[in-house]
Chains A and B, each alone.
Chain A
Amino acid sequence: MNKHTTSVIVMAIALVAAPRFAGATKYLVQVGGSCTTGGGQATLYAAGYTSVRPWVDQRNNISTAAANLAQAMNTYCTGNNSCVIATHSHGGAVVSKMFAMYSNNWNIVQVTNAGSSAGGSELASISTWVARVFLGCALADDQTPTNYRGSWNHNDTNGENIYNLSGRKDDYYNATAPFLPGGNDGAVAFHSSGAFVSSWSISNLCSYQGYHWQGNYVYGTTCDGEDATHSSISGTAQYLGWDKHPNAFR
């Protein structure tokens, strides 16, 4: 075999073996909670990833937010680019709704949800005033378990790796405890952050095995829940160490 043929073969092998997504941009997409709009500076970082906080309007209704996020997925997570998504609170609900409503062929590696309200929060049922104090703004009224569990199919997540974190401490001196069944982080109960099929009172995340939504869920929390409140688990920043800018990486 001459040198020319050999080099052609080597090049061919290299082309076939080369990572398909190599050289493309890897994004860390950050989605906050109720009342946030996104945009602006991201606060989560990972080496080799470009951090973004896309515009996701979570002030009025989840439909708008899901549409905004789907648009962001089209921008960042297609072609040879890929995405890791990190959400907090209502951001988990937005991601869940987006997967269910849209045709998703996005290059998503994983989704990390911290204190997801995809299953709703009983605080939204108390009164408009209470809901808005504890859950945010006008969108707070919508976040009842019935409205959120009934509005979309939570089992349709396109098989994305979804890593759920559930906090077990609350920020509100137990003021919300009478309204949240079972373990909770002061705003969201385990039945939601733990992705269970119903809004039961659950104090042990390891119970009711098999009674979870049928997505590709991984539970990043021990059976008792994380030693965190709804706000301290936000964005997984401190938990996962994604809060240091690459320039300060150590």
Chain B
Amino acid sequence: MAKQEANKRWAVVVVTAAVVGIGSHLAFCAGAGDPGAPASAPADEPGEQLFSSPSRAPVLSRDRRTAFRGVRPSGGVRFVNTLANYRKYAIYPPTSRPLKHESLDLLLWNQRYERFRPTRNDPSLSFRLSADRFWVTGEESINATLQVRRAGKPVTVEITRSFIGDDARSPGTDVAARVPVTFRRSGGAYVASFNPSALVHPERGAKLGLYVEFDSGASARQRAKIMFNYTPPGGIPARFTGAFREAIDHGSLIIYAQVEVARAGWYLIDCNLWDRLDNPVAWTRFKGNLSTGLQEVPLLFFGKVLVDSKSIAPWHIGELRGGLHVPMEDPDVDFMQPFTGSYRTSKYDLAQFSNAEWDSAQKRKKLQLLREYEDDPNAPKLPVPGGPAEH
């Protein structure tokens, strides 16, 4: 039943992404504009989107040009109010906020973004090299796909070379580091499955490149490459043990995820929260130091986010992932094996959580800073776009 619920949830996410993606692709192909948009942002959107109308960018009036230099013209110009924007945003803390179906990057956190593009010598031929993931951890396998098309129809090609290397930028400098990968035809595409941990052995996180060269027969050979962030088994810095507990603290829900830490340091861990009907509710992010040994990572789901969601508990977590920050390295995160299970909370009434806005010393300091900025007539203010200057 849990698996069916999860499948149903992902079906909604994937359909949403597909509908939006197909819509934008069709608009691109047809040369038509995107679907009509409202002139102003939805009421619940953080920040202030100040589009006036879908028109050409205004020719800046003399008054506006003067205004940009910090001189107030007599006619007046609307400027972005950073204080008001921040107040509107900061009703929730920065790292515990609502999760929506539109938050595709948080829901499909490990997706790739390759597109079809024309080949070098034959623009009528297009191709896409992609895979089922970007972060690859431990003994996970990669499933890669090469699609080649002309007028939307698959084209047969000869794959002349395909290999992976752990030096994604300069494979040619170390031929011995290249490990062959075999693609096979599957339907109208070419697919390859391989396990990097069996092929390459970096000591810690590394950029892994997949390189493919193919010949369509009618044009010169085409090359493509895609990169992965790979953490080998020996480089995994910590692991989720699968033990959780929960508590209400100052009106917010905290789910404590137990981790066994092999390497201490600054960790970045993200997690989503879903309701019992598989609707997205909230996302949270932990950023903090973890010592070695068994630790608990507090995943805070802010009270007002839960109250405003009007969602129905029990909730369950999803997409729990993260890793150790290794500054100035590339990649600069040694990833943990993402937690593929889930944890279901107790059943709560939303009245058990606080509806109060976020407050903290950090926020109060920011408000003070922005008050002073808004009161400063010489500060470099940012103009509201579109339309003539107000008089």
Q: A213–B332 Cα gap in the complex (Å)? A: 22
Given known contacts A150-B135, A200-B24, A203-B27, A240 and B382 CB-to-CB distance under 8 angstroms = yes
Smallest CB gap from A44: residue in B? B380
Q: Mark A112-153, 1 if CB is under 8 A from B, else 0.
A: 100000001010011110000000001001101111011101
Given known contacts A49-B380, A146-B112, A217-B47, A222 and B55 CB-to-CB distance under 8 angstroms = yes
Given known contacts A22-B372, A158-B94, A222-B58, A198 and B21 CB-to-CB distance under 8 angstroms = yes
Q: Mark B30-61, 1 if CB is under 8 A from A, else 0.
A: 00011111110110011111111111111000
Smallest CB gap from A155: residue in B? B106
Contact of A223 among B51, B328, B331 (CB under 8 A): B51
**CB atoms of B328 and A204 under 8 A apart:** no
Contact of A21 among B27, B285, B331, B372 (CB under 8 A): B372
Q: Mark A142-183, 1 if CB is under 8 A from B, else 0.
A: 101111011101111111010100000000000000110110
**CB atoms of B105 and A179 under 8 A apart:** no
Contact of A64 among B28, B70, B328, B370 (CB under 8 A): B328
**CB atoms of B105 and A67 under 8 A apart:** no
Given known contacts A47-B378, A216-B85, A199 and B46 CB-to-CB distance under 8 angstroms = no
Q: Mark B98-110, 1 if CB is under 8 A from A, else 0.
A: 1010111110011
Instruction: Indicate if B226 sits at the interface (CB-CB under 8 A).
Output: yes
Chain B residues near A60: list those with CB within 8 A: 330
* The stretch of B113-121, B246-254, B257-265, B292-300 that contacts the partner chain: B113-121
**CB atoms of B134 and A146 under 8 A apart:** yes
With most chain B CB atoms within 10 A of its CB, the pick from A19, A21, A141, A150 is A150
**How distant is A229 from chain B, measured CB to nearest CB, in Å?**
13
Contact of B332 among A63, A146, A163 (CB under 8 A): A63
Q: A216–B287 Cα gap in the complex (Å)? A: 19
Q: A147–B331 Cα gap in the complex (Å)? A: 10
Chain B residues near A127: list those with CB within 8 A: 120, 223
The size of the chain B interface, using a CB distance under 8 A, is 100
Instruction: Indicate if A42 sits at the interface (CB-CB under 8 A).
Output: no
**CB atoms of A182 and B28 under 8 A apart:** yes
Q: Mark A216-245, 1 if CB is under 8 A from B, else 0.
A: 111111111111000000000001111010
Chain B residues near A211: list those with CB within 8 A: 20, 102, 104
Instruction: Indicate if A72 sits at the interface (CB-CB under 8 A).
Output: no
User: Which A positions have Cβ atoms within 8 angstroms of B?
Assistant: 19-22, 26, 28, 46-49, 60-64, 66-67, 82, 84, 100-101, 103, 105, 107, 109-110, 112, 120, 122, 125-128, 138, 141-142, 144-147, 149-151, 153-159, 161, 163, 178-179, 181-182, 197-227, 239-242, 244, 249-250
Q: 18 extra interchain contacts, Cβ-Cβ under 8 A, other than A100-B268, A201-B24, A207-B37?
A: A60-B330, A63-B328, A66-B332, A125-B114, A146-B113, A146-B114, A150-B111, A150-B229, A156-B285, A197-B104, A198-B17, A199-B113, A200-B20, A203-B34, A209-B41, A210-B42, A211-B104, A222-B386
**CB pairs A–B below 8 angstroms (25 shown):** A20-B368, A47-B378, A48-B376, A63-B329, A84-B380, A109-B370, A125-B226, A127-B120, A153-B285, A158-B94, A159-B86, A161-B86, A178-B123, A198-B17, A198-B105, A200-B20, A203-B28, A206-B49, A209-B38, A218-B47, A218-B382, A220-B80, A222-B386, A224-B56, A241-B69
